[in-house]
């Protein structure tokens, strides 16, 4: 079982089908895409001397070469390490070092900031930029046959943001991802050959995972020329290609619906819009359905069980006559077909309907574990169940409603931000005594980061200094949008900082401002 067979099969049966587009421009057909992947595999194996199981880093924005590199890595039996293009070079350095990546492909727009750090990576044999003469030499390597992989061999090493300041590598196997694809085709959307996957969100994450079912169908893969999300461009490309499937964060759905409502743009080219990765407010999805029609599906998943915990289907979102319609569209749907989901107490005992507890999931989608971190693996997977850290309750019909994130994660623009890693950086400032980072609702991004800081006696805290400290150490999107200097942080009798109280304070201020 090797994910590379998805491309190899389509290239063999449908060689002339158009495969990859950059905007409206055809880059290659399936014959060409399959041959490129086979030559990349030959380059990794022959020229670089890498072996099955070695890790290959992909630190790129959405570029035309992304899929050929992903499948070339699989083709050689190696492990892809897709890295968030928004990360700070120091964060990227840690991921490459921790994964012991032997090769790296980095897009030209990201290469300059990373270059000074590459010399310290002892395992790295080569770092290449797509679009350069050096990269073109990859195509000259001899193509090779797909390397056999066992179902439980690792295919994708996905680094999550870490609650302790360091990300953990989630080991996703070929079996995990094949099961994910099956769930997608059963519960979310079954692509046809005439359809396309439109990549407007980062291909290193959920959007990129949408490639697999479309690869099976020998459908088209369309990358935006901007390399990012622009509502006007997305709708234009969807009209041009037709039958477009797109994944987006709730904030992207909101921006898309706002654009359609404001301009009267035609959304008919979009076949399906899959959203997830953060809370979708009821009024926002109602607006999207009103102005764009019944083309939306919601999923709830984690890196540890990618895209595959629950689904709120197109039918459920459109069932406005149901007596519990409001409650249903506020939920994240029902368990996907190939997983089991339940809500449990601290000891893992299933709770009755309506009671709030931790969301647990079991099935072939659940990760093999955390990369070289058996302690964290044992804590997350117990008795075969993944303890997600998300809190929720289940109704009598099996609809799961999330109540809170026990890990205090902030989701801004679809990107995960763990407060602890921001707090760790701010505590490096000599005049910061204490700090607590929380999320505040933001109309466009879903949430934004707010830092409450307590100064040491006699210390002075300047926003410019705190901001500069964050920019030197973490990705720009993680830095606080506001620094609130306070005399003390609210704490429990046991000395634990009450983040709930801080969030309530921000909500009260927002409510007062809107009154």
Domains, the chain, ranges and CATH? 410-514 (3.30.300.30)
The crossing angle, in degrees rounded to 10, of helices 108-118 and 89-99 is: 70
Q: Give me 229's structure tokens.
A: 């999300």
Q: What CA–CA distance (Å, rounded) separates 412 from 249?
A: 9
How far apart (Å, rounded) are the C-alpha atoms in residues 159 and 152?
18
CB 298 within 8 A of CB 317: yes
The tokens for 499 are: 């983040």
Identify the sign of the CA torsion 361, 156, 188, 202: positive
SS (H, E, C) 285-300: HHHHHHHHCCCEEEEE
Q: What is the pLDDT along the chain (515 residues), one digit of tens a residue?
A: 999 999 999 999 999 999 999 999 999 999 999 999 999 999 999 999 999 999 999 999 999 999 999 999 999 999 999 999 989 999 999 999 999 999 999 999 999 889 888 988 999 999 999 999 999 999 999 999 999 999 999 999 999 865 445 889 999 999 999 999 999 999 999 999 999 999 999 999 999 999 999 999 999 999 999 988 999 999 999 999 999 999 998 889 989 999 999 999 999 999 999 999 876 778 889 999 999 999 999 999 999 999 999 999 999 999 999 999 999 999 999 999 999 999 999 899 999 999 989 999 999 999 999 999 999 999 999 999 999 999 899 999 999 998 766 667 788 888 878 787 898 899 889 999 889 999 998 888 889 999 999 998 878 899 999 999 999 999 999 999 999 999 999 976 445 688 888 988 998 888 887 65
Exposed e or buried b per residue across 331-345, where buried means at least 16 C-beta atoms within 10 angstroms of its C-beta: bbbbbbeebebbbbe
Q: Residues 293, 278: contact at Cβ < 8 Å?
A: no
pLDDT tens across 321-362, in order? Answer: 999 999 999 999 999 999 999 999 989 999 999 998 999 999
pLDDT tens-digit profile of 373-409?
999 999 999 999 999 999 899 999 999 998 766 667 7
Count of C-beta atoms within a 10 Å radius of residue 353:
11
Q: Please state the length of the chain.
A: 515
Integer Cα distance of 365 and 306 in angstroms: 7
How far apart are the C-alpha atoms of 194 and 189, rounded to whole Å? 14
Q: Where do the DSSP E strands lie in 162-304?
A: 169-173, 196-199, 220-223, 244-248, 270-275, 296-302
Closest C-alpha to 335, from 402, 399, 386: 399
- The CA-to-CA distance between both ends of the chain, in Å, stands at 59
CA atoms within 13 A on the CB side of 200: 28
- Is the CA virtual torsion 163, 278, 302, 158 positive or negative? negative
Task: Decide: helix, strand or coil at residue 52.
Answer: coil
As beta bridge partners, residue 56 has 80, 103
Residue 340 tokens read as 């089991």
- E strands of 55-117, at which residues? 55-59, 79-83, 103-106
Asked if 423 and 353 count as a contact pair (C-beta separation under 8 A), the reply is: no
Tokens standing for 509?
A: 């201020």
| Cα 71 from Cα 68, distance rounded (Å) | 5
């Amino acid at each position: 079982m090797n994910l590379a067979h998805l491309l190899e099969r389509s290239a063999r049966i449908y060689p002339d089908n158009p495969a990859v587009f950059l905007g409206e421009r055809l880059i290659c057909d399936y014959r060409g895409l399959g041959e490129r992947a086979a030559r990349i595999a030959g380059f990794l194996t022959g020229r670089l001397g890498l072996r099955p199981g070695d890790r290959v880093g992909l630190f790129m924005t959405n570029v035309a070469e992304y899929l050929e590199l992903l499948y070339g890595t699989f083709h050689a039996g190696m492990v892809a390490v897709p890295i968030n293009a928004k990360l700070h070079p120091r964060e990227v350095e840690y991921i490459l070092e921790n994964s012991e990546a032997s090769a790296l492909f980095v897009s030209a727009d990201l290469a300059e900031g990373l270059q000074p750090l590459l010399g310290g990576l002892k395992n790295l044999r080569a770092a290449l930029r797509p679009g350069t003469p050096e990269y073109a030499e990859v195509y000259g390597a001899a193509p090779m046959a797909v390397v056999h992989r066992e179902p439980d061999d690792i295919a994708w090493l996905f680094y999550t943001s870490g609650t302790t300041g360091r990300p953990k590598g989630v080991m996703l196997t070929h079996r995990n991802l094949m099961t994910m694809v099956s769930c997608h085709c059963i519960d979310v959307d079954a692509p046809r050959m005439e359809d396309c996957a439109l990549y407007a969100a980062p291909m290193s994450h959920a959007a990129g995972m949408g490639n697999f079912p479309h690869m099976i169908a020998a459908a088209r893969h369309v990358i935006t020329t901007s390399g990012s999300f622009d509502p006007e461009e997305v709708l234009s490309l969807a009209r041009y290609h037709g039958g477009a499937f797109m994944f987006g964060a709730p904030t992207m759905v909101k921006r898309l619906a706002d654009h359609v409502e404001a301009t009267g743009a035609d959304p008919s080219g979009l076949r399906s819009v899959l959203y997830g990765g953060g809370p979708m407010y009821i009024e926002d999805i109602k607006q999207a359905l009103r102005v764009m029609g019944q083309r939306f599906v919601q999923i709830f998943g984690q890196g540890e069980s990618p895209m595959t915990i629950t689904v709120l289907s197109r039918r459920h979102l459109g069932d406005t006559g149901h007596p519990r319609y409001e409650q249903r569209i506020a939920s994240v749907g029902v368990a996907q077909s190939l997983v089991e989901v339940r809500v449990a107490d601290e000891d893992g005992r299933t709770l009755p309907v309506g009671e709030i507890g931790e969301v647990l999931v079991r099935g072939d989608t659940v990760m093999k574990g955390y990369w070289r971190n058996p302690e964290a693996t044992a804590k997350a997977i117990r008795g075969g169940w993944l303890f997600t850290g998300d809190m929720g309750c289940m109704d009598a019909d099996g609809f799961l409603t999330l109540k809170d994130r026990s890990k205090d994660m902030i989701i801004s623009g679809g990107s995960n931000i763990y407060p602890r890693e921001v707090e760790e950086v701010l505590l490096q400032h000599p005049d910061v005594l204490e700090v607590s980072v929380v999320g505040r609702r933001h109309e466009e991004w879903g949430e934004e980061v707010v830092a409450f800081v307590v100064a040491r006696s006699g210390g002075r805290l300047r926003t410019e200094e705190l901001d500069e400290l964050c920019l030197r150490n973490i990705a720009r999107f993680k830095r606080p949008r506001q620094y609130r200097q306070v005399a003390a942080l609210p704490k429990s009798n046991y000395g634990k900082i009450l983040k709930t109280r801080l969030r309530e304070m921000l909500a009260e201020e927002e409510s007062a401002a809107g009154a």
